[in-house]
Structure 1
Amino acid sequence: MASTVPVVIYPPDGDGGRRVHVDGTNLGRAYSVQDVARFMQEAGLQEYDEMDVVRSPLIEWRGGGADVWTQ
């Protein structure tokens, strides 16, 4: 199923990492909201911080929200 938002955070894996995809491209694994903010900044949204990540309509959280980092 394709996402209608440009950023998808996948469910946590066994190590607590969550894959981060932007426009279908895998940017890596995040282990915290701070990591997601860093990915967003690298994707061109330099002003994004942790609160923006938690509230952003650009991000689809799968398998739990921004507070879920374990299976």
Structure 2
Amino acid sequence: MTPSPPIVVCPPEERGGRRVLLDGQEIGRAFSLYDLVELLTGAGLDAAATEFEDTSVFEWRGGGPYSWQGSGQGT
């Protein structure tokens, strides 16, 4: 069994933004990659050196790193 990536970015919500989980704990909501970097940096990670498409680190649910709008607001 392969371990889950430590960072999960949940699907875009209707009101915008995506919940971000680090090791199963919610650390906030991101509305862009910039917000995601800020959340991860605040959690003590070196987000500047992170490859957002690295599936060993990130699990993107409901869209990849460039999808931030809820379905009611466009994509």
- Which interval holds the TM-score relative to the shorter structure? 0.7 to 0.9
CA deviation string 1:26-48 (max 9, x = no partner): 111100001111111122113x2
Partner of 1:23: 23
The letter for the 2-side match of 1:31 is: F
Cα 1:66–1:24 change in 2 (3 A) is same
Number of matched pairs: 67
Q: How does 1:57-68 map to 2 (within 5 A)?
A: 57-68=56-67
Partner of 1:32: 32
What value does the CA root-mean-square deviation take over the aligned residues?
Answer: 1.8
Could you tell me whether the CA contact under 8 Å between 1:8 and 1:61 is conserved in 2?
yes
Partners of 2:42 and 2:29 lie apart in 1 by 14
* Identity fraction in percent: 39
Larger Rg: 2
How far does residue 55 in structure 1 lie from its aligned partner after superposition?
Answer: 3.2
Runs of 4+, deviation exceeding 2 Å: 51-57
The gaps in structure 1 that reach 5 residues or longer are none
The gaps in structure 2 that reach 5 residues or longer are none
Could you tell me whether the CA contact under 8 Å between 1:10 and 1:63 is conserved in 2?
yes
The normalised TM-score by structure 1 is 0.80
How far does residue 53 in structure 1 lie from its aligned partner after superposition?
Answer: 4.8
Q: Does 1:52 align with 2:50?
A: yes
